[in-house]
Structure 1
Amino acid sequence: MAEEYTECLLENNKYHEHCPGCKVDQMKKSRRGFPFSELLSVWIIVLCTALPISSLFPFLYFMISDFDIAKKEEDIGFYAGFVGCSFMLGRTLTSVIWGIIADRYGRKPAILIGTASVVIFNTLFGLSVNFWMAIITRFCLGSFNGLLGPIKAYAIEIFRDEYQGLALSAVSTAWGIGLIIGPAMGGFLAQPAKQYPSLFSEESVFGKFPYFLPCLVISCFALLVTIVSLRIPETLHNHKIADDASSHDESIKFLSHDPESHKVTERNEKNSLLKNWPLISSIIVYCILSLHDMAYTEV
């Protein structure tokens, strides 16, 4: 009885008129049926992020060889490792920052910047003329493409409770498919003047930049995704959620006559995330999994 009275008491104050997050909550409450459009949006955004990660591996050896930076053939793998890891290095250094930006300014800006970065830096990587340009463009691509965390938060917030498991599985599925399609595109489309001389000449831009075509195709797809992402709704609440939560807790406290109702919340707020062992252990396990995944892919 107390819970029902609490919901009725807070129903009128639950939604804010100019809050995008509240509009999404109202949309989820009124919508019935399977959310195909939201699922497709999340899927193509994650696919756009995953494609550039591994698309370079089939041609990276030949790219480093063309740069003439390796004195011996045995050194090509050494230099290729730097280009391969520069993307993930940039992502490692900036992922937390992009999470903070997504929490403060919205999920949509972080997503748009991430997809737009693929358009810009992946294209520049295909036009690389030396080793350092390749490293810098890949590092910038990873640094500005930190939307894997925000897109998971977005997927949780845009779907109703009964579809949230499906939303996160769509993220993982699109990621895995991107890691499959990416190398295939890199292998089939690299050095097109040599592979398809009837379609591409040595004097064309694809002959002068033999690794530009796969990057261009991925960048065009990323441009399309960026345009589509302009229409997705923002899910972040822009009102003071802490005040709303406080008033909600006050109502529950009043109804339940429980003077201890705030103590657990206050203790949790004071604890550091670094002392949250379930969180840290999950991060460690994910790091080990990612280490094996990327090492196998590069080898």
Structure 2
Amino acid sequence: MEEENLGQPLLKKRYYQNCPGCKVDRAKELGTDVSIRNISYIWMTVLCGTLPIASLFPFVYFMVKDFNVAESEEDISAYAGYVGSSFMLGRSLTSILWGIMSDRYGRKPVIIIGVMTVVVFNTLFGLSTNLWMAISMRFFLGSLNGLLGPVKVLLYASIAYTTEIFIEEKQALGLSSVVAAWGVGLVIGPALGGYLAQPTLKYPHLFPKDSFWDKFPYFLPCFVISVFAFVVAIACIWLPETLHYHNGSKESNDNVEAAEVDSSEIKKDKSIFLNWPLMSSIIVYCVFSLHDIAYQEVFSLWAVSPRRLGGLNFTTNDVGNVMAISGFAMMIYQLALYPSLQKACGPVNLARITGALSIPLLQSYPFMTLLSGSTLYLVLNIASILRYLMFEQHQRGAANGFAMTAMSAFKIIGPAGGGALLAWSQKRLSASFLPGTHVVFLVLNIVEGVGVILMFKPFLGEKKEKPMEQLQ
């Protein structure tokens, strides 16, 4: 019987009339998938999840200052760090749960819930009147939002969704749209937060003093993002579902079980924790994630801090300008230069080089307080652009559920630790050793240095195959 089956397909594809996943697979087989429309769906959902993360950096210092919770101006950065960490805390606690939900109930419901979470809790965050309300809203925004986790969790359901909805030849285009949407969010998010926060101070002819906008000075950027998210939520009504529903048919279950035999046999007796090449990559990814989120938090808080505390005394507009310009430069670099550099150096060597070069660059930041005017803006923008380009290398890591959960856990430490460290440093401006913010950027560089070291053997090693006789 086995000989008679040689050359015959092991599985025969069957399509069920009322199954949404089968409709997508059928369209892919026939080559009738609407790529532009599907790319637009993915692009909008990822952007919707990215904007709330980046938008608060320019104004979170002023928001916490207005809460009047800090005993001194030096303590503001520490409380601002708690606001930044609360989102990642919520995300790390629920990312696996949202992955299970998307596998069980479908990608589309999880995407819609994630988008509506942005609508509700990002709006409430803009209406925060005290520190605990701000922390709570950011926590719920992270924990109830399945948009930013990894295809067990949605940036992951977006990546998973991308691989499921496109034919193989077009998956690269779909995945690049996810990366592009993330990059656009890094540009638009800080710009919105910087330009639209405190509108009564910046645009008094449009937003008069003692009005609603004066009582809630950080609502406008949150409201604009929430309106965009609401539009995306409506558009998601036409989002095709990729999960298969076969009404409990025994035949369909048999097909599914047969299709999964190979993958289950491959994964049998293998633990993710015993896979050293994978685990070493995840560790490096987590260390760099900790560094990068801490840098973003520290940079924005340091830039808006007064000169007497070692800051630059920037406005929200100034911070938004720098972060938006850097994000735009990163997009250009990613599209135009990165492929050539990666081909010439290899992704790991390129990350090692950029990681090492970022250390002296970052340690130069405290000396920028000696500059002023256009010279300061020019030097700071150049440094920030270079730092963002190096930051981009760190983000090209493993995209699996465990890696993203671990990364989120590390990112809890970044904003809170960075904010507390900055607050402490501003109380020791007259110290004889590493005064003021010098110690902050030194600690960031130590973390960066650890990440660079971990990228060399024996930490980041190749997996060695066992001889065949040992496997038998």
For residues 29-40 of structure 1, the aligned pairs below 5 Å read 29-32=29-32, 35-40=35-40
Asked if residue 297 in structure 1 is aligned to residue 296 in structure 2, the reply is: yes
CA 1:193–1:281: 2 relative to 1, 3 Å: same
The normalised TM-score by structure 2 is 0.56
What is the identity, as a one-letter code, of the residue corresponding to 2:218?
Answer: Y
CA–CA separation in structure 1 for the residues paired with 2:57 and 2:107: 30
CA–CA separation in structure 2 for the residues paired with 1:34 and 1:287: 36
Range with bigger deviation, 162-171 or 272-281: 272-281
Q: Which residue in 2 is equivalent to 1:193?
A: 200
Asked if residue 180 in structure 1 is aligned to residue 180 in structure 2, the reply is: no
CA 1:18–1:274: 2 relative to 1, 3 Å: farther
Q: Which residue in 2 is equivalent to 1:227?
A: 234
CA 1:25–1:281: 2 relative to 1, 3 Å: farther
Q: SS of the residue aligned with 1:58?
A: coil
Q: Which residue in 2 is equivalent to 1:152?
A: 159
CA–CA separation in structure 1 for the residues paired with 2:124 and 2:96: 25
What is the identity, as a one-letter code, of the residue corresponding to 1:143?
Answer: S
Contact 1:121–1:140 at 8 Å: present in 2 too? yes
CA–CA separation in structure 2 for the residues paired with 1:145 and 1:205: 28
CA 1:143–1:154: 2 relative to 1, 3 Å: same
What is the identity, as a one-letter code, of the residue corresponding to 2:121?
Answer: F
For residues 19-38 of structure 1, the aligned pairs below 5 Å read 19-32=19-32, 35-38=35-38
Contact 1:59–1:186 at 8 Å: present in 2 too? yes
The answer to which structure, 1 or 2, has the higher relative contact order (CA under 8 A, 6+ apart) is: 1
Contact 1:10–1:248 at 8 Å: present in 2 too? no
Q: Which residue in 2 is equivalent to 1:252?
A: none
What is the identity, as a one-letter code, of the residue corresponding to 1:60?
Answer: V
Q: What percentage of aligned pairs have identical amino acids?
A: 55
Higher helix share: 1
CA–CA separation in structure 1 for the residues paired with 2:30 and 2:281: 35
Contact 2:27–2:33 at 8 Å: present in 1 too? no
Deviation at 1:60, TM superposition (A): 0.6
Deviation at 1:50, TM superposition (A): 0.2
Q: Which residue in 2 is equivalent to 1:10?
A: 12
> Is there any run of 5+ residues in structure 1 with no aligned partner, and where?
250-261
CA 1:158–1:3: 2 relative to 1, 3 Å: farther
Range with bigger deviation, 111-120 or 18-27: 18-27
CA–CA separation in structure 2 for the residues paired with 1:114 and 1:93: 15
Deviation at 1:54, TM superposition (A): 1.4
What is the identity, as a one-letter code, of the residue corresponding to 2:174?
Answer: A
Contact 1:64–1:79 at 8 Å: present in 2 too? yes
Deviations 1:25-58 (A, max 9, x none): 0111223587111111100110000000010110
CA 1:281–1:228: 2 relative to 1, 3 Å: farther
CA 1:61–1:3: 2 relative to 1, 3 Å: farther
Q: Which residue in 2 is equivalent to 1:171?
A: 178
Deviation at 1:101, TM superposition (A): 0.5
Q: CA RMSD in A?
A: 2.4
Q: Which residue in 2 is equivalent to 1:50?
A: 50
Contact 1:193–1:207 at 8 Å: present in 2 too? yes
Q: Which residue in 1 is equivalent to 2:449?
A: none
Asked if residue 243 in structure 1 is aligned to residue 245 in structure 2, the reply is: no
Q: Which residue in 2 is equivalent to 1:90?
A: 90
Deviation at 1:278, TM superposition (A): 5.0
Contact 1:95–1:149 at 8 Å: present in 2 too? no
CA–CA separation in structure 2 for the residues paired with 1:230 and 1:284: 39
CA 1:32–1:16: 2 relative to 1, 3 Å: closer
Q: SS of the residue aligned with 1:69?
A: coil
CA 1:27–1:3: 2 relative to 1, 3 Å: farther
CA 1:155–1:281: 2 relative to 1, 3 Å: farther
CA–CA separation in structure 2 for the residues paired with 1:21 and 1:190: 43
> Is there any run of 5+ residues in structure 2 with no aligned partner, and where?
148-154, 299-472
CA–CA separation in structure 2 for the residues paired with 1:264 and 1:29: 22
CA–CA separation in structure 2 for the residues paired with 1:62 and 1:136: 18
Deviation at 1:178, TM superposition (A): 0.4
Deviations 1:186-211 (A, max 9, x none): 00000001110000012221111000
CA–CA separation in structure 1 for the residues paired with 2:29 and 2:81: 49
Q: Which residue in 1 is equivalent to 2:126?
A: 126
CA–CA separation in structure 2 for the residues paired with 1:35 and 1:267: 32
CA–CA separation in structure 2 for the residues paired with 1:2 and 1:121: 57
CA–CA separation in structure 2 for the residues paired with 1:155 and 1:237: 16
Q: SS of the residue aligned with 2:9?
A: helix
CA–CA separation in structure 1 for the residues paired with 2:236 and 2:30: 23
CA 1:215–1:65: 2 relative to 1, 3 Å: same
Q: Which residue in 2 is equivalent to 1:256?
A: none
Q: SS of the residue aligned with 2:161?
A: helix
